[in-house]
Amino acid sequence: MKFEDIEIEEVDFEAMLEESFKKSESKSDLVTGTIVKIDEKDNLVVVDIGGGRDANLSLDEIRDEEGNITFAVGDTINVVTQGRGRISYKAALSRAALNEFIAEYDEEQEYIIEGVVTKKNKGGYVVEVDGLEFFMPRTLSYLSSKIDPIGKKVKAVIVKVDKEKGSVVVSRKELIERDKAKTDEIVGALLENKDPVIGTIKKITSYGMFVDVGGMDGLVHYSQISHKGPVNPSKYFSEGDEVNVIALEYDKKKRHLSLSIKDANPDPWADIDAIIGVGDTVTATVSNIEPYGVFVDLGEDLEAFLHVSEISWDKNVKHPKDYLENDSEINVEVIEIDKEGRRLRVSLKNLLPKPMDAFSAENKVGDVVTGVITSITEFGAFVKVGAIEGLLHNQEVSWDKSKNAKSELNVGDEVEVKIIKIDKDAGKVSLSKKALEDSPIKAFAQTHKNGAIVTGIVKDTKDFGVFISLEDNIDALIRTEDLYPLKFDEIEKGQEIKGVISFIDANNDRIRVSVKRLERQEEREAMEQLNLEQDDSMTLGDAFGDMLKK
């Protein structure tokens, strides 16, 4: 029952009580009668109550727990008359018990009862306690007329006993006002003092905990438990635990007392620099594991976040739970302190040996190693070699430029590769598969030298020149300035171009061809041929004539 539902009426208590007693005397007289008939068919008992009057009693009232009838025709029986020919044996038992209670009542002792509201009238309510009926006036009930109280359990204190009239009056209002006064006293002291007090956890819910402080319950919301932020109270506390709390506020209308555990304890963020620093190694307890990372408890009411990328040097961590367990202790390094956001970030992998250090100590550029393809991208494939992953770029997959990682490799394939670069600082390793095969250009260079005339088919054009395909699918570049007398704008794919090899670099897989040099070379060869023909046309006479002249 909320205080806003309580109705307080100004009623003449004495007049109302007298009216109730009069009703009890006129309609609920206790008499002794004689059973004259037991009718099991109609389930009733006819009792002679004197004065030539017969009254009906329900047969069920004289049955025991097993259903046996406990009286017979001719037996005397105590009953209470209820008007209109109705009587009650159970009411007589209750009246007798009440009379016995009243007879033994000690006025020096306080009696607090707990019963059920069974009846109501204009003046108030009847509260039944272990078969005894007590009267609770409406003004002493603190029950709302808007809500039917029948069947409601109530606590009350006995405030008046009339031994002559056989009535007991109880008050619920008295207990409620006592509790309210006690509550006001407790709350006033808590709010005024503002010092931490010891409370006992009575109940834990998903949204917080109810804590008993001096006989009154207050709520510690889950956001007021720890300086770490909102937490699940059941992970940190159990019912019956004692905790230090501070009162935050009290809502008199709702009788709601708000408490705080975190405000009763020092705020670690107020002096965080003295507690922890970036680079510190601390022992933490895993408190919560999520797919994106792990929350760890550092003690001192501090919590830190361990991102999934900071768990291991292995870049393929699928879920933190594969590496860590709740409540396990781990050593971590503090890598970030955000005072404004009250956030800490830590790293586990920083305290683990770097795989790159071990790899570079055991391997060098030029070594041939075996690895497994872990992933394939647009630009190449990642190959796991030991504890590190190296990149096999598309251009290092094959000498055939039409092939790449996607067309030639699959995740899970085991491949043999050569290490072509180790960048320890950047933590990167470059690998090559084609370096284990003979370069087509090396074979080409054995049969072709600079100055050799070749013919190729145009494959592609760029701003800086034209790529042509020579024999054995070998590519060569004709730079723009070497195309003369051909015009760059008139070059088309598939066109056949003849030129002279001007540069061969077998180690770096490069060949350049020049059309301009071909024209000069053909002119030079024509002149040499012409000079040779002229030399062959000289006669013997010409030769001797020259000699005679000399």
Domain assignment present for 542: no
Do residue 235 and residue 273 come from a single domain? no
Last residue of a domain, one of 412, 436, 460: 436
Write down the pLDDT at residue 546.
Answer: 53
Got the DSSP string for 71-139? --TT-EEEEEEEETTEEEHHHHHHHHHHHHHHHH--TTS--EEEEEEEEE-SSEEEEEETTEEEEEEGG
Four-point Cα dihedral 10, 12, 14, 16, nearest 10: -90
What's the Cα-to-Cα distance from 362 to each of 187, 356, 369, 376, rounded to whole Å? 71, 10, 11, 26
Do residue 146 and residue 210 come from a single domain? no
Domain containing 492 equals 440-528
Overall domain count for the chain: 5
Write down the pLDDT at residue 394.
Answer: 94
Do residue 162 and residue 278 come from a single domain? no
Show the CA angle centred on residue 182, arms to residues 178 and 188, nearest 5°.
145
Do residue 23 and residue 115 come from a single domain? yes
Domain assignment present for 188: no
Last residue of a domain, one of 140, 172, 204: 172
Write down the pLDDT at residue 458.
Answer: 93
Q: 467 - beta bridge partners?
A: 460, 477
Give the count of beta carbons closer than 10 Å to the beta carbon of residue 184: 13
Four-point Cα dihedral 298, 300, 302, 306, nearest 10: -10
Distance CA 313, CA 310 (A): 8
Do residue 129 and residue 168 come from a single domain? yes
Write down the pLDDT at residue 535.
Answer: 62
CB 502 within 8 A of CB 468: no
Whichever domain contains 299, its CATH number is 2.40.50.140
Q: Report residue 16 CA to chain centroid gap.
A: 61
Domain assignment present for 537: no
Nearest to 47 by CA among 96, 91, 80: 80
- DSSP for residue 352: S
Write down the pLDDT at residue 319.
Answer: 93
The verdict on pTM exceeding 0.85 is no
Do residue 28 and residue 134 come from a single domain? yes
Q: 458 - beta bridge partners?
A: 468
Do residue 21 and residue 149 come from a single domain? yes
Do residue 392 and residue 294 come from a single domain? no
Distance CA 110, CA 113 (A): 10
Domain assignment present for 376: yes
Domain assignment present for 234: yes
Give the count of beta carbons closer than 10 Å to the beta carbon of residue 476: 25
User: Under DSSP, is residue 69 helix (H, G, I), strand (E, B) or coil?
Assistant: strand
Do residue 295 and residue 380 come from a single domain? no
Residue at token pair 């009440």? 98
Distance CA 486, CA 132 (A): 123
Distance CA 467, CA 473 (A): 12
Do residue 44 and residue 141 come from a single domain? yes
pLDDT tens digits, the chain, 550 residues: what are they? Answer: 333 344 444 444 444 544 544 444 444 578 898 999 998 888 999 999 888 888 899 999 899 888 899 999 999 999 988 877 788 888 888 888 888 888 888 888 888 989 999 988 888 999 999 888 899 998 898 888 778 889 999 999 999 988 877 789 999 999 888 888 887 777 877 787 778 889 899 999 989 999 998 778 889 999 999 888 888 898 889 999 999 998 888 887 888 888 989 888 888 888 888 889 999 999 999 989 999 999 999 988 899 999 999 999 887 788 999 999 999 999 999 999 999 888 999 999 999 888 888 898 899 999 999 999 999 999 999 999 988 899 999 989 988 878 899 999 999 999 999 999 999 888 899 999 988 887 888 878 888 888 888 999 999 999 899 999 888 778 899 999 999 888 888 899 999 999 999 998 877 778 999 998 887 887 777 777 777 766 655 555 555 555 555 4
Give the count of beta carbons closer than 10 Å to the beta carbon of residue 33: 24
Domain assignment present for 295: yes
Nearest to 350 by CA among 325, 331, 337, 327: 331
pLDDT by residue (tens digit) across 380-410? 999 999 888 999 999 899 888 788 999 999 9
Domain assignment present for 187: no
Do residue 361 and residue 320 come from a single domain? no
Do residue 7 and residue 142 come from a single domain? yes
Distance CA 46, CA 44 (A): 7
Domain assignment present for 189: no
Last residue of a domain, one of 218, 249, 264: 264
What is the pairing mode between strands 256-260 and 216-221?
Answer: parallel
Give the count of beta carbons closer than 10 Å to the beta carbon of residue 330: 19
Write down the pLDDT at residue 534.
Answer: 66
Q: Which two tokens stand for residue 550?
A: 């000399």
